[in-house]
Amino acid sequence: LPFDYFVLGYAMAHITSHWEIDLRNIKIGDEEIEMLVAGVNFKRDNFIQFKKNATLQKLNVSDNSIGDGGATALAEVLKENRTLQKLNVSDNSIGDGGATALAKMLKE
């Protein structure tokens, strides 16, 4: 249910304490990741607050079906997050485009 990921993304934009999200091996793909990002982006003013004050430290989306589209969407929403310490995207279908977007995000 992609809409569930929209709701999760919306909740992510409102959490203010240290946290970790584990979405490994639940068979999500680009559509679900894009809905998650859409949920984070739902209210632009809340999204800006999320990006600046997010406390997401660990995100595990390993063992899924995420491709370049999902990886690029993740990179976009996480690029200004300064608290992320661990990102696990192993065992997905991410190609060069998604890997490049994630690498650029982590470098910034």
The tens digit of pLDDT for each residue in 92-104 reads 999 999 999 999 9
Span 77-103, mean pLDDT? 91
Q: Find, among 85, 58, 71, 59, the residue nearest to 32 by Cα.
A: 71
Q: Look over the chain and give the mean of its residue pLDDT values, rounded to a whole number.
A: 82
C-alpha 71/C-alpha 103 separation (Å) is 10
Q: Which residues contact 91 (CB under 8 A, 6 or more apart)?
A: 62, 63, 64
Q: Find, among 18, 58, 13, the residue nearest to 36 by Cα.
A: 13
Higher pLDDT, 63 or 23: 63
pTM score of the predicted model: 0.78
Q: Percent of the chain, pLDDT > 90?
A: 40
What confidence score (pLDDT) does residue 43 get?
Answer: 59
